[in-house]
Chain A
Amino acid sequence: MEHSKKTKYSSGDRKDSPADGGAVLNGHFDGMVKRPAVASPAAEPGSHRATSSVMESWKEERTRSLEDNEMSLPSLAAAYTTILRGLGEDPQRQGLLKTPWRAATAMQFFTKGYQEKIIDVLNDAIFDEDHDEMVIVKDIDMFSMCEHHLVPIFGRVHIGYLPNKRVLGLSKLARIVEIYSRRLQVQERLTKQIAVAITEALQPTGVGVVVEATHMCMVMRGVQKMNSKTVTSTMLGVFREDPKTRDEFLTLIRS
């Protein structure tokens, strides 16, 4: 898909706008999640227009390149210098001399999820396997940035899915987490994006994602509650419909 500076910022004019009018936020279709048809044995849910548009946007999204990073570094550094002055600090003192550049590079690293596409990460690691028992990868460390305060969020992600003849390389689950977490995020959206990406890649019988995180915006400022954690979950397919499957998943991630 062609990528120009103009379309980088206006995420609403994609050629594959979803039918239900959901906005394309955070580089990924974020409208109503269409659950894959549970009874359908076919790999491609092509009959539903909105779902196929989700498929396309999932395969083709990319908002930033390495060249973009290089070119935006000076303006980022200038913005950080302004911030240092605005806080009453002296940007010329020894400890702060190169801070604008370091902070700019750090921030680009914390949002490197915008540079990556799911399709690049997953392309070869989907295998046909006659396995239909639950697969769980738990305690995946996750680091994100709160999009409201630009302050870190960190915690753990637990993913479980029931394969439908296709399994995924295990580290690819962690890579999906990385792509979506290294962005300006809201925990609810992060959880859903991970679940939807796995659903679209594998068309499994069901997916469950639980994210448990600490928000520095609540701990370091504002209400300042040190020990609070936020837990969000997304259950799709048989995980949503069958309470016993969901129970099994939740029990296994807890132990």
Chain B
Amino acid sequence: MNSHCNGKVGETAVEEFHCNNGFSDLIIDTKKSAVVHRKHETSRKEAEDESRLPALEAAYTSILRNLGEDTDRDGLLRTPLRAAKAIQFLTKGYHETIDDILNNAIFDEDHDEMVIVKDIDVFSLCEHHLVPFFGKVHIGYIPNKKVVGLSKLARIVEIFSRRLQVQERLTKQIAMGICEALQPKGVAVVVEAAHMCMVMRGVQKMNSRTVTSTMLGVYLEDPKTREEFLALAMRA
């Protein structure tokens, strides 16, 4: 499920964050150690993808027919297979965990200034209409003796964005993922996206953008730190 283990993690640095949220439908036993928390269950194994293809293909064939198209015409002959593989790719975040990608890239570094990685392109699927939304993510964190390989921040974005998502939850999950991996002094995540469900259909507002943010730790408590992040990350 699109849940991320949350609830109070047993490390003191993280407890200060009060990063309680109610997104998960799973009740996590908070007495478990943080290490066990991070090994949260994936709802889909990569090996199962092949075996699930036929059912997805059949569903797409049914969709094409019900839309009034001719599934035997040349352009649509292999579309059910391609569309099934495409949507599996677009939801591949379900079979990845933070641990898999982070395992070796956390380094002890005596650095306690802000680190920002901005303009990370993000692509996700709206869970309400199964239509893409895409935009940019800006991440900032203040390390607490541990820094993370920079591309790993983008990989964390990939894990959570390649799912059926709601932008609010995506933002929070990215922040929580970094929080639990590094136990930094603070994490800030801003996501700015265009939702095709608003642009291509419904209200059809071409230029609208949705911006969500999550501030944890010192970014939440200290307005000046937050301002510095926003000035550096959101600068045109």
> When the two chains form the complex, which single residue of B1, B25, B48, B200 contacts A152, counting CB atoms closer than 8 Å?
B200
Interface membership of A241, Cβ < 8 A: no
> When the two chains form the complex, which single residue of A8, A88, A148 contacts B94, counting CB atoms closer than 8 Å?
A88
Residue of A with least CB distance to B68: A64
Residue of A with least CB distance to B45: A88
Q: Is A148 touching B79 in the complex (CB atoms < 8 A)?
A: yes
Residues of A close to B121: CB separation below 8 A: 226
Interface membership of A151, Cβ < 8 A: yes
Please, what's the 1-or-0 string for A146-162, where 1 marks a CB less than 8 Å from any CB in chain B? 01111110100000000
Residue of B with least CB distance to A9: B70
Interface membership of B55, Cβ < 8 A: yes
Nearest Cβ on chain A to B179's Cβ, whole angstroms: 23
Interface size on B, residues (CB 8 A): 56
Given the known interface contacts A63-B68, A79-B60, the answer about A148 and B75 at a Cβ–Cβ threshold of 8 Å is yes
Residues of B close to A99: CB separation below 8 A: 127-130, 164
Q: Is A149 touching B59 in the complex (CB atoms < 8 A)?
A: no
Residues of B close to A103: CB separation below 8 A: 129-131
Please, what's the 1-or-0 string for B38-55, where 1 marks a CB less than 8 Å from any CB in chain A? 000001100010001001
Residues of A close to B220: CB separation below 8 A: none
Interface membership of B196, Cβ < 8 A: yes
Q: Is B82 touching A149 in the complex (CB atoms < 8 A)?
A: yes
Instruction: Report, as a range, how many residues of chain A touch the other chain.
Output: 35 or more
Interface membership of B89, Cβ < 8 A: yes
A216 to B130, CA, bound (A): 14
Among the interface residues B55, B62, B197, which one has the most CB atoms of the partner chain A within 10 A?
Answer: B62
Interface membership of B76, Cβ < 8 A: yes
Q: Is A143 touching B129 in the complex (CB atoms < 8 A)?
A: no
Residues of A close to B48: CB separation below 8 A: 88
Residue of B with least CB distance to A150: B83
Among the interface residues A68, A106, A111, A150, which one has the most CB atoms of the partner chain B within 10 A?
Answer: A150
Interface membership of B7, Cβ < 8 A: no
Q: Is A75 touching B56 in the complex (CB atoms < 8 A)?
A: no
Residues of B close to A250: CB separation below 8 A: none
Interface membership of B65, Cβ < 8 A: yes
Residues of A within 8 A of B (CB): 8-11, 23, 25-26, 63-64, 68, 72, 75-76, 78-80, 82-90, 93, 95-96, 98-99, 102-103, 106-111, 114, 141, 143, 147-152, 154, 184, 186, 216-217, 219-221, 226
Residues of B within 8 A of A (CB): 1-2, 25, 43-44, 48, 52, 55-56, 58-60, 62-71, 73-76, 78-79, 82-84, 86-91, 94-95, 121, 123, 127-132, 134, 164, 166, 196-197, 199-201, 206
A-B contact pairs, 11 of them (CB 8 A): A68-B68, A76-B62, A83-B56, A83-B130, A84-B164, A87-B52, A95-B2, A99-B129, A111-B68, A141-B206, A143-B200
